[in-house]
């Protein structure tokens, strides 16, 4: 009995070590990841310039399709929680208003492109992904819109031919505008760039 269990365990380990993902043309890619990022930003309004710090927590499911071996295209919606701490509003070097904070929930959606660099049969692979998205937010009061671009890359390790876990490091750029936070004329435009770290799970499904 003990020998049987050892044999089964050995077979399981061998199978895991030999596992590789389905990266072939015609395979579906379903999964998602979570991201955390912190950034410094500068907001320009009619009243002056305000320097701020931001905290982002984002969950992004995705669905894609391999149009060629190792190359997939797809759609990625995301939900992001943003906490912002605003510094003083400064006009020509003179503080004109105090700081504050805000909590905003953004919904974004957009296309992505993903490419795997190593041979299909590898159990561990490396990939790069480019993403563009358009987002809307309800800031209560007010509303917002933004455009975002990101490039991510990292390793992925497969448990079997269908399931893999991935770690990504990326660079994110966004431009957002919020309207009517305090009045109909109170508009803000913000540009941010940040490095982000993510971990995700991907499932590869044959058609």
CB 107 within 8 A of CB 137: yes
Instruction: Give the contacts of 42 (CB within 8 A, at least 6 positions apart).
Output: 49, 50, 51, 52, 190, 191
pTM of the model: 0.71
| Residue spans per domain, the chain | 2-206
The pLDDT tens digits along the chain (207 residues) read 544 443 343 344 434 444 556 899 999 999 988 878 788 887 777 777 878 888 888 888 999 999 999 999 999 999 988 787 877 777 777 776 766 777 788 899 999 999 999 999 899 999 999 999 999 987 766 788 999 999 999 999 998 888 999 999 999 999 988 876 555 556 778 888 988 888 889 998 876
CB 176 within 8 A of CB 194: no
Query: How many Å apart are CA 131 and CA 112, to the nearest integer?
Result: 4
Instruction: Give the contacts of 180 (CB within 8 A, at least 6 positions apart).
Output: 141, 142, 143, 186, 187
In CATH, the architecture of 2-206 is: Beta Barrel (2.40)
Of 26, 28, 33, nearest in space to 199 by CA:
33
| DSSP-assigned beta bridge partners for residue 76 | 110
């Amino acid at each position: 009995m003990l020998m049987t269990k050892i044999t089964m365990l050995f077979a399981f380990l061998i199978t895991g070590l030999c596992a590789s993902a389905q990266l072939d043309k015609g395979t579906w890619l379903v999964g998602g990841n979570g991201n955390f990022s912190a950034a410094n930003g500068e907001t320009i309004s009619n009243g002056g310039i305000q320097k701020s710090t931001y905290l982002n927590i984002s969950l992004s499911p995705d669905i894609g399709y391999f149009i060629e071996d190792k190359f997939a295209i797809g759609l990625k919606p995301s939900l992001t929680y943003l906490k912002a701490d605003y510094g003083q509003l400064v006009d020509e070097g003179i503080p004109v208003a105090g700081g504050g904070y805000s909590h905003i929930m953004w919904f974004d959606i957009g296309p992505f492109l993903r490419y795997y660099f190593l041979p299909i049969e590898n159990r561990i692979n490396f990939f790069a992904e480019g993403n563009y998205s358009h987002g809307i937010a309800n800031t209560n009061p007010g509303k917002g819109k933004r455009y975002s671009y990101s490039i991510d890359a990292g390793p992925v390790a497969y448990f079997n031919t269908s399931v893999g876990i991935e770690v990504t490091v990326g660079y994110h750029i966004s431009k957002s505008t919020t309207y009517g936070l305090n009045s109909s004329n109170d508009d803000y435009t913000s540009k941010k760039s940040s490095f982000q770290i993510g971990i995700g799970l991907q499932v590869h499904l044959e058609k």
